[in-house]
A = this chain, B = another copy of it.
Amino acid sequence: MTTQFFGMRLAGISSYAPPQVWSNAKVSARLRLARIQRDAQLRRERGHGLTHDEAREFATSDRWVRRFIGFSERRFSTEGQGTADLATLAGRRLLESTGTAPGDVDGILFASVTPSYLYSPPDAALLQEALGIPILQGGVPREMKGADISLACSSWVASVMLAYALIRSGMARRLVVIGADRMSCTINWRDRSFATVLGDAGTATLCEAVPTEEDWFAPERFWSWLDGSHADIIKTPAGGSRAPLRSADDTIDGRHLLAMDGRAVKEVLVPFVSGPGIAAALGKAGWQLDELDVVALHEANLTLNEAILAQWRKGGFRGQVLTAGGRFGNTTSASVPLALSLNGDALTVGRRFGFFGFGGGLSASMAFGTIRHPMLVTADV
């Protein structure tokens, strides 16, 4: 029986982004096309086209997106390239770069909101196969932990927390934590709010047991939060079990695609994360804002994050902020590890970090720690 605690380190992080670049101009043109199609459809159906207010939902521009969102471009998967495929490319690179044999992995936590398949099979099983992780050891079935984990934009940090619990308690030694999303398949091209934001990427992080004295984390350095009273502000109206797709009309109208009340997100999440949320999390960790050397925030929107950071700076934060630079969009479960993978130079031994997931639910998941070993960080983007 295990009678020992373990610490955890992040031995490596790899990321993959599909090569298909969608500039703000391309997104804007795609929305314009959707507007023309919708206008023609409405003329047939109700005798007149889009009203001025309705047409505005399709209108955007490179200048507007750069100014109010901070994104210049994003990547979209190619046909047939689901979340598992993005994760596989990141996962293979992770095993190669860290010199990890597939047979040394004892679990996969797959953080995503865009599963490759509805209901079944789970992505964790697809990754076991795609990464060549053996199912037998010495002729008998080899134990392999796994689960698909979803908590909106907090999925990845929440999964790192679950990985820590498994490793700390001695239940696993080496876990691959995926953070991957094909968000392009959730875009409603009749609604600029998410169309100007979302992108696709896959990441893989190797979480390894280390002696407790080398632990990067601690139980009190994870903090989580749920507030379902604002569940409606980032919501997919139909296609889930509360409102299953009943007719073709549901798909035509895009009710199975993600929708957001952007103003409410800003009004609720920004004050929370910039004030009481970070205060509660740091209070539990026993840290101060000025002790954070390097942070990565879920890249929902760079201007939104700047508003949060401005408040943190007033509270003493002077650390480095790692981002994907607005070049990959909001990749949901991939965003924090993608930013880390693109800034490997900043992840040096001795630095104290903070990871911040927040979004739909509403949910938030935060993790603090100290880098105590060199990390193997690669980005294939």
Contact B228 A141 (CB under 8 A): no
- Which of chain B's residues has its CB closest to A125's CB? B361
Verify if A107 is at the interface (C-beta below 8 Å from B): yes
Interface string of A117-151 (1 = CB under 8 A from B): 11111101111111001010000111111111111
Known: A1-B220, A121-B235, A361-B124. A146 touches B82 (CB 8 A): no
Interface-facing stretch out of A25-33, A37-45, A157-165: A157-165
Bound state CA distance, A174 and B247, in angstroms? 42
Partner of A147, one of B2, B119, B149, B249: B149
Q: How many copies does the complex hold?
A: 2
- Which of chain B's residues has its CB closest to A163's CB? B165
Bound state CA distance, A118 and B222, in angstroms? 27
Verify if A341 is at the interface (C-beta below 8 Å from B): no
30 pairs across A/B with beta carbons < 8 Å? A1-B219, A2-B218, A82-B241, A83-B241, A84-B241, A114-B240, A115-B240, A117-B235, A119-B258, A121-B232, A121-B360, A124-B361, A124-B363, A125-B226, A125-B360, A129-B228, A130-B228, A140-B276, A143-B223, A143-B280, A147-B150, A150-B150, A161-B171, A162-B165, A165-B171, A169-B169, A171-B219, A245-B245, A248-B248, A251-B251
Bound state CA distance, A16 and B344, in angstroms? 49
Interface string of A350-366 (1 = CB under 8 A from B): 00000000011111000
Bound state CA distance, A130 and B361, in angstroms? 13
Partner of A222, one of B84, B159, B171: B171
Bound state CA distance, A252 and B251, in angstroms? 10
Verify if A113 is at the interface (C-beta below 8 Å from B): yes
Verify if A316 is at the interface (C-beta below 8 Å from B): no
Interface size class of A (residues with CB under 8 A): 35 or more
Interface of chain A: mostly helix, strand, loop or mixed: mixed
Verify if A231 is at the interface (C-beta below 8 Å from B): yes
Known: A119-B113, A130-B228, A166-B162. A84 touches B242 (CB 8 A): yes
- Which of chain B's residues has its CB closest to A286's CB? B1
Bound state CA distance, A242 and B122, in angstroms? 12
Known: A125-B362, A279-B140, A280-B140. A236 touches B119 (CB 8 A): yes
Chain B residues, CB < 8 A from A108: 226
Bound state CA distance, A303 and B27, in angstroms? 53
Bound state CA distance, A249 and B362, in angstroms? 34
Bound state CA distance, A126 and B231, in angstroms? 7
Partner of A151, one of B3, B124, B151, B231: B124
Contact A141 B276 (CB under 8 A): yes
Verify if A80 is at the interface (C-beta below 8 Å from B): yes
A327-352: which residues lie under 8 A (CB-CB) from chain B?
none
